[in-house]
């Protein structure tokens, strides 16, 4: 018994002095830095303690993680900072030269990596957003044909137009007539879900219909739950903790398992139904993305299911997030709203592919909105070998390098002293001959909303066409404004960004 007691007590006697040492260090730092309430985030660059590094910094700012990281990078040399936790080093950056280095120049040195893939594998499997190497190349090759000009014209001309006229606008009309409050974030997610399912899989989930089908409703709830829970794995200091919870099927991992099971069952049913349709179909002239994937003859059912889930994530959550923040920003900036409405009224009511491309002020407004509130606020890569970044930062094999579009949109060095202003004009120039606006794009390593390099978003043009058509359809007829005066949304980030608690709005008909 005495030996057992000694076995327990001896380690404690060793640890206790360190606990007191770190306690007094943290207390001293807290007193000297002032309030640490959420409204007054820990300022400047976080303090690194001996042995444990910055282990206490992130939890202290968990509720305002993105603004805190932005502040750290704004106050760091070369907009780059190395977080230390025990022996691990993770680099975060908002430096365009480093972004170009990891996304293009040394692309094959910086794959997604095992950490990212293992954390997300239960949900995304080996889908394109969770794949590396030859697997990623193959999936990209068979996916890219769907995103050509013909597909985009079809998307704007048929799917979005039908969803607008048959579902979204009647819903807004009813809300206006009844003076009811809508959660615009939820409405836009449903709209985007219907669109991606129609154009990519030839399947209509009818998310915006009054009789929202039960299987689709359950899928939407499960999808949100799974994304939230699986994102919670990333900040865990010891991955063995969530892996043990998964093995024991308890707590958050049990909830995640149930949600993922529902998602995969739903996605698999889409794949099986599509296989059945293809077997019965005599002509394959007009095929959707899933048909092309299945007709490649090189995918089994599991991989096809993984790709369905990946495209739902991209098509549902990113465009809806971008539009949610766009409508809030426009509602707060009357002059911008007037310019957009003026441009829309100069266009035809039903716009084709070329017509939407001419909406330069609307396009600039969407870019400006995503600069401040990017749908994917950060993205991590893992070094496959030792390297040195352009600013001299040493990278060892296995270290993660994370670039932050959220912070990059908030750097004075990139956007000027007025970076905090919502100003679409920063994307525009006047043509001398006509006096009309001309859109001026930024390089993709400064504006990284759609990633850059070989993994640049395949659906970029499709996303803009969809968003511009939605904005034109809605803002021509209605004004969207917060249900409560002075509404201040909170930016939260899972795999994609959201407004915490949704975006409650009222709909007003324009004269």
Q: What is the pLDDT of residues 122-131, one digit of tens each?
A: 999 999 999 9
Q: What pLDDT is attached to residue 293?
A: 75
Residue 76: CB partners within 8 Å, gap ≥ 6? Answer: 45
Any idea what the Cα angle at residue 381 is, between residues 92 and 77, rounded to 5°? 20
Residue 354's pLDDT band (boundaries 50, 70, 90)? low
Which residue, 327, 346, 328, is CA-closest to 437?
Answer: 346
Are both 46 and 99 inside the same structural domain? Answer: yes
- For 117, counting Cβ atoms within 10 Å of its Cβ (0-12 exposed, 13-18 middle, 19+ buried), the class is middle
Last residue of a domain, one of 360, 392, 421: 421
Contact 400, 67 (CB under 8 A): no
Residue 199, CA atoms < 13 Å, CB-side half-sphere: 31
Are both 10 and 65 inside the same structural domain? Answer: no
pLDDT digits (tens, 9 = 90+) for 245-297: 999 999 999 999 999 999 999 999 999 998 888 888 755 555 577 887 787 67
Residue 453: DSSP 8-state = G
Crossing angle between the packed helical segments 184-201 and 319-331, to the nearest 10 degrees: 140
Q: Count the domains in the chain.
A: 2
Are both 54 and 3 inside the same structural domain? Answer: no
Helix (H) or strand (E) holding 55: none
Are both 100 and 46 inside the same structural domain? Answer: yes
CATH number at residue 96: 3.30.43.20
Q: What pLDDT is attached to residue 440?
A: 95
Mean pLDDT value across residues 29-33: 39
Is residue 51 domain-resident?
yes
User: Mean pLDDT, the chain, as a whole number?
Assistant: 86
Coil vs helix vs strand at 8: helix
Contact 484, 504 (CB under 8 A): yes
Q: What pLDDT is attached to residue 146?
A: 67
Are both 53 and 22 inside the same structural domain? Answer: no
By mean pLDDT, which of 53-57, 93-97, 291-295 is the weakest? Answer: 291-295
Q: What pLDDT is attached to residue 423?
A: 98
Is residue 58 domain-resident?
yes
> How many Å apart are CA 337 and CA 362, to the nearest integer?
9
> How many Å apart are CA 497 and CA 511, to the nearest integer?
34
Q: What are the structure tokens assigned to 78, written together? A: 């070369």
Mean pLDDT value across residues 447-463: 93
Phi, then psi, of 43 in degrees rounded to 5: -85, 160
> How many Å apart are CA 290 and CA 288, to the nearest integer?
6
Are both 101 and 54 inside the same structural domain? Answer: yes
Q: What pLDDT is attached to residue 278?
A: 84
Residue 347's pLDDT band (boundaries 50, 70, 90)? confident
Domain assignment of residue 10, given as a range: 1-34
Mean pLDDT value across residues 396-422: 97
Residue 424's pLDDT band (boundaries 50, 70, 90)? very high
Residue 53: DSSP 8-state = B
Residue 31 has pLDDT above 90, yes or no: no
Is residue 84 domain-resident?
yes
Calculate what percentage of the chain has a pLDDT beyond 90.
61
Contact 397, 421 (CB under 8 A): no
Is residue 244 domain-resident?
no
Mean pLDDT value across residues 105-113: 97
Are both 415 and 384 inside the same structural domain? Answer: yes
What pTM did the predictor assign? Answer: 0.89
Query: Helix H segments across 332-359?
Result: 334-345, 353-357
Which residue, 217, 215, 142, is CA-closest to 186?
Answer: 217
Exposure b/e, 384-406, CB count within 10 A at least 16 = b: beebebbeebebeeebbbbbbbb
Phi, then psi, of 314 in degrees rounded to 5: -70, -45
Q: What pLDDT is attached to residue 294?
A: 80
Q: What pLDDT is attached to residue 286?
A: 52
Contact 409, 62 (CB under 8 A): no
pLDDT digits (tens, 9 = 90+) for 475-500: 999 999 999 999 999 999 988 999 99
Last residue of a domain, one of 421, 452, 479: 421
> How many Å apart are CA 314 and CA 296, to the nearest integer?
22
Is residue 406 domain-resident?
yes
Phi/psi zone of residue 221: left (φ > 0), alpha (ψ -120 to 50 degrees), beta? alpha
Q: What are the structure tokens assigned to 37, written together? A: 């309430």
Are both 47 and 101 inside the same structural domain? Answer: yes
- Three-state DSSP string of 398-458: CCEEEECHHHHCCCHHHHCCCCCCCCHHHHEEECCCCCCEEECCCCCCCCCCCCCHHHCCC
By mean pLDDT, which of 33-37, 259-263, 440-444 is the weakest? Answer: 33-37
Contact 325, 372 (CB under 8 A): yes
> How many Å apart are CA 473 and CA 344, to the nearest integer?
9
Is residue 213 domain-resident?
no
Is residue 412 domain-resident?
yes
Query: Helix H segments across 75-168?
Result: 96-100, 113-124, 133-143, 149-154, 161-163
Q: What are the structure tokens assigned to 400, written together? A: 């993660």
Is residue 199 domain-resident?
no
């Amino acid at each position: 018994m005495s030996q057992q007691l000694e076995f327990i007590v001896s380690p404690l006697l060793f640890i206790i002095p360190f606990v007191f040492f770190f306690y007094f260090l943290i207390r001293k730092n807290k007193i000297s830095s002032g309030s640490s309430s959420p409204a007054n985030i820990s300022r400047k660059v976080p303090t690194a303690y001996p042995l444990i590094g910055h282990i206490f910094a992130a939890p202290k700012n968990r509720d305002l993680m993105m603004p805190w990281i932005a502040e750290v990078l704004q106050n760091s040399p070369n907009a780059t900072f190395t977080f230390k936790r025990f022996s691990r080093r993770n680099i975060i950056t908002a430096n365009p030269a480093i972004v170009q280095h990891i996304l293009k120049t040394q692309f094959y040195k910086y794959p997604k990596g095992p950490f990212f893939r293992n954390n997300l594998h239960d949900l995304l499997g080996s889908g394109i957003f969770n794949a590396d190497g030859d697997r990623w190349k193959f999936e990209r090759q068979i996916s890219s044909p769907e995103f050509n000009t013909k597909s985009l014209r079809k998307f704007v001309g048929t799917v979005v137009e039908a969803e607008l006229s048959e579902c979204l606008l009647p819903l807004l009309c009813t809300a206006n007539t009844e003076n009811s409050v809508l959660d615009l974030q939820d409405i836009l997610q449903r709209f985007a879900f219907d669109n991606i399912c129609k154009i990519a899989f030839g399947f209509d989930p009818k998310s915006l219909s009054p009789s929202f089908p039960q299987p689709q409703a359950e899928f939407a709830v499960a999808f949100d739950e799974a994304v939230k829970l699986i994102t919670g794995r990333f900040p865990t200091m010891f991955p063995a903790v969530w892996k043990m919870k998964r093995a024991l099927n308890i707590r958050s991992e049990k909830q995640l398992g149930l949600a993922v099971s529902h998602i995969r069952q739903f996605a698999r049913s889409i794949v099986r139904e599509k296989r059945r349709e293809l077997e019965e179909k005599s002509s394959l002239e007009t095929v959707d993305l899933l048909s092309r994937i299945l007709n490649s003859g090189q995918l089994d059912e599991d991989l096809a299911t993984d790709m369905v889930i990946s495209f739902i994530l991209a098509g549902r959550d990113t465009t809806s997030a971008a539009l949610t923040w766009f409508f809030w920003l426009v509602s707060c900036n009357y002059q911008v709203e007037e310019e957009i409405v003026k441009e829309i009224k100069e266009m035809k009511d039903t716009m084709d592919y070329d017509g939407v491309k001419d909406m330069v002020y609307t396009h600039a407004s969407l870019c400006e909105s995503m600069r401040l509130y990017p749908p994917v606020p950060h993205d991590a890569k893992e070094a496959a070998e030792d390297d040195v970044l352009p600013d001299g930062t040493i990278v060892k094999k296995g270290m993660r390098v994370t670039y932050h579009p959220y912070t990059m949109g908030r750097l004075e060095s990139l956007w000027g002293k007025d970076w905090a202003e919502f100003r679409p004009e920063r994307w525009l120039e006047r043509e001398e001959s006509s006096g009309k606006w001309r859109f001026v794009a930024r390089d993709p390593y400064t504006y990284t909303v759609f990633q850059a390099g070989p993994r640049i978003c395949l659906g970029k043009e499709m996303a803009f066409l969809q968003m511009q058509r939605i904005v034109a359809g809605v803002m021509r007829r209605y004004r969207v404004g917060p249900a409560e005066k002075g509404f201040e949304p909170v930016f939260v980030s899972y795999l994609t960004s959201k407004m915490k608690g949704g975006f409650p709005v009222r709909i007003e008909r324009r004269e």
